[in-house]
Structure 1
Amino acid sequence: MWKHRCYHDYERRRLIRRILLGILAFVGLVLLTIIVILIILRPTKPRFTLQDAVLYAFNLPPSPTELPPPTLNLTMQATLSAHNPNDGIGIFYRSLDVYVSYRGQQVSRAVVIPPSYQDHHDITVWSPYLYGIAVPLPPYAVDAVREELNTGAVMLKVVVEGEVKWKVGSWVSGTYHLHVNCPAYMRLAGGRIGGPERCGVDV
């Protein structure tokens, strides 16, 4: 009786080990297949271009005193395009926020771009209006704004922050952080960029 029970426990443990090994082998095979597919297809990060930008307002409203420091008002419309250069790989865009940056500081509210899917070689275009009202600036930025108001031109950056996922067949990857930086050198008072500007993209 005791030998029979020991043999039964031994067979049960061996069966459990086989099941676990089978599950691990299956998961490993799936991961290996995905890795091989990604290596063969070599997913490339999306390409962003600032197609156009119009600056309607960029000013420091007059203040009777320097306390509190002057604040910035900004209004801009930016036209951005995103191109998926991959063969056989789709891109899901999630939680995209677009805003304007000046000397490393966000100077407009973030505009949320609705989630979208981009098939291979597709191009998607967005044209959000970007506003900054009474944006507080550090002293160095206030001095820079005054100088650029005198010269009649300003260097701004249109920034996109968000998340992307890759899609191969029915498989969808995990989430990757997306950071896009688009330089925009613009004339004031209704000025616009001279032509399409390629953006820096980090994934």
Structure 2
Amino acid sequence: MSQVFSKSPKHCAKQQGLTIEKSYKKLFFACSAVFTSVLAFIFLIWVILHPSKPQFSLKEADIYQLNLSGPHLLNSSIQLTLLSKNPNKRVGIYYDELQAYASYKGQQITVDTSLPPFYQGHEESNLLTASLEGTGLPVAPSFGYEVGRDQTTGRIILNLKVNGKLRWKVGTWVSGKYRFNVNCISVMAFGPNNIPTAPLSSYQGTQCSTAV
């Protein structure tokens, strides 16, 4: 008599489970390989192109008002003009969420002023202008003394700053957002006999520092 061998339902279920598990593993490794290839491709493009950070320079700054309205309250009005340049030959730059303000000896002396977002193509330059103002801004008790001392030396030094976020554009690919900070130093001379005469102006075209 011949013997008939048959697999139990339990044995079949175990084999089917192994098959499904192998399929999931294959799918996982395939997705991982595709994802790794995409990351490697993006990284390779990034290394080859190696985008340089944007360059900013101060073209003009004018102080129309900088006076105390109370013991520690400041009114200020400053007109700012910056030149922004994209030094990259193959990478464009989107500028987002731009904010400009002025500071003096570590104290912010104007409120944050928003600048419109814009796109800068390869090796393009753009002029940025902003009116920086402050009304009744609280300042340190030493503010009046510091300005008086600068008046004695015949010049006042301000920091003009721009903060924001940028995105790199390579072909149709656009990166995520990167925060950047621009700091420009403006040296302005007082009038004859060191008497403040509005506006105090700076035209020296100072190169600004940029951190990304």
Give me the whole-angstrom Cα distance separating, in 2, the residues matched to 1:13 and 1:113. 55
Q: Which amino acid aligns with 1:19?
A: L
1:120 corresponds to: 122
Match of 2:49 in 1: 41
Partner amino acid for 1:166? Answer: W
Query: Are 1:3 and 2:11 counterparts?
Result: yes
Q: Which amino acid aligns with 2:51?
A: P
Identity of paired residues, percent?
Answer: 34
Residues 136 and 110 (structure 1 numbering): CA distance in 2 closer, same or farther, change over 3 Å? same
Which residue in 2 is equivalent to 1:158? 160
> Which one is further off, 176-185 or 6-15?
6-15
SS where residue 197 of structure 1 aligns? Answer: coil
Gaps of 5+ in 2: 1-8, 190-195
Instruction: Label 1:74 to 1:151 Cα distance change in 2 as closer, same or farther (>3 A).
Output: farther
1:40-85, Cα deviation, whole Å (9 max, x unpaired): 1111100011111111112234x5xxxxx33222111100121111
Q: Which residue of 1 aligns with 2:3?
A: none
TM-score (norm 1): 0.90
- Inter-CA distance 32–176: structure 2 relative to 1 (3 Å threshold): same
Matches within 5 A, 1:7-156: 7-61=15-69, 63=70, 69-156=71-158
1:151 Cα deviation from its structure 2 partner = 4.4
TM-score, normalised relative to structure 2? 0.87
Paired residue secondary structure (1:135): strand
- Runs of 4+ with deviation above 3 angstroms: 149-152
**1:152 CA displacement:** 4.6
Question: Residue 66 of structure 1 corresponds to which residue in structure 2?
Answer: none
Q: Deviations over 1:126-145 (max 9, x none)?
A: 11111122222112333102
Q: Secondary structure at the match of 2:202?
A: coil
Secondary structure of the corresponding residue to residue 60 of structure 1: strand
Task: Map Cα deviations across residues 111-165 of structure 1 (whole Å, 9 max, x no partner).
Answer: 1112211111111221111112222211233310222244453111110011111
Aligned length: 197
Q: Which has the larger radius of gyration?
A: 2
Over aligned residue pairs, what C-alpha RMSD do you find?
1.5
